[in-house]
Every structure is written in structure tokens, then in C-alpha cells.
Amino acid sequence: MGQTLTPVVRYLLIACVAVFGMQLLAGYRLADVFALSPVGGAFDATSFHSWQLITYGFLHGGFTHLLFNMFALYMFGPDIERLLGYRRFLIYYIVCVIGGAVAQLLVWRALDITVSQVVGASAGIFGLLLAYGLAFPHRRLMLIFPPIPMPAWLFVTLYGLLELYLGIAGRETSVAHFAHLGGMVGGFALIMYWRASVRPRR
């Protein structure tokens, strides 16, 4: 798991690190244009633009945020890219990022939030976690804290349920839990579509 970098994973890692470097130089100006913002935002500088459905996934809110996402991409991405092929892997990742953005926009609309922003590759990462759990359900994964080994399917299921609980309960409001879930939903929908498209017709 994660021993050798595959092409798309490598380029995604480079892109996210490079964009983070640009953020350090440009400050909030980059986020104002490329971070995901609510539709009908209260300020012109942070209003929604269609490109934000993808670009938010390459920005990060700090070094720790970047580090955890890139570590997960490195650990889980190569196996999924080898399984899907580089083209489908890139499509899958982007669909997960867009799915996370759509979910977050819907939550903002439901809560009538007009001043907020979301950045980070987490929706894409959660989509990769879902794919990993489906493709390699019995591989053992180790939690960082507490250090408990468990099969991938259980790890992904518990993580998804935790995100759902935290989102509904309003815990950790600085974290876009529904964007994470949206990444998983978008990835699952695409996997089901691909599976249906290769089923033999009767």
C-alpha cells in the first residue's frame, strides 16, 4: 500500500504542494478566487464561481491540513490508480471532489449560509477511501489513535458514520464533514455506473 507512486498520484501531490506554496505567497487572495464559496455569497470577492467545484480541492488551510491529505493520497491512491488505470482514476478523483463541493453547497443552501469557504483535497481522499474499502475489503489498516488494526471495509464504514454524526451534530464546525461524505457518495455513484455499464445484456 503506497510503496510506489503512480503517475496521477504523483502529479496530484505536486499540484497540491505547489498550490500551497502559492497560497503562502499570495495569502488570502488566492482563496478568495479559488476556494469553494456559497452561491449568492455576501461579498463579491468570495462569491461562487463554477471553477471552484474543482479548484478548492487543490487549496489547503494550513500545513497540517495539507500533510494529512497528501499522506492519505500517497497511502491509498496508488493502489486505486493501478486498479482503475490512470484515466479512470483521474476521472474518479475529480468526480469525488465535485461531489464534495455539491454536497457542501447544498448544506449551505439548506442552512442559508452566505459567508463561508471550503478548501482541501479531503473529498477526493474520502472517495479514495471508499474505493479502497470496496476493492480491498479485507486488507488490514491500522488506526493512528488508538492503534487498532481492522479490515478496510470496517475502517471506511466507521469513518463514514463518524463524519455523518459529526456533520449532523454540528461538531467540529471548521471541518466540512458533508463535503467528505459528498466525496464518498460521488465516488460510489461513479463506481456503480461503471459496474452497470459492463454488465452483459440479456
Catalytic annotation, residues? 122, 180
User: Distance between CA 98 and CA 133 in Å, rounded?
Assistant: 20
Q: Please choose, from the candidates 105, 98, 104, 93, the residue with its C-alpha nearest in 3D space to the C-alpha of residue 15.
A: 93
> Which pairs from 61-66 meet CB under 8 Å and 24+ separation?
61/119, 61/120, 63/20, 65/119, 65/120, 66/16, 66/17, 66/20
User: Distance between CA 23 and CA 51 in Å, rounded?
Assistant: 17
> Helices in 27-151 by DSSP H: which ranges?
28-34, 52-55, 63-84, 86-111, 122-135
DSSP designation for 44: G
User: Distance between CA 137 and CA 70 in Å, rounded?
Assistant: 22
Contacts of 74 (CB under 8 A, 6+ apart): 2, 5, 9, 13
User: Distance between CA 129 and CA 124 in Å, rounded?
Assistant: 9
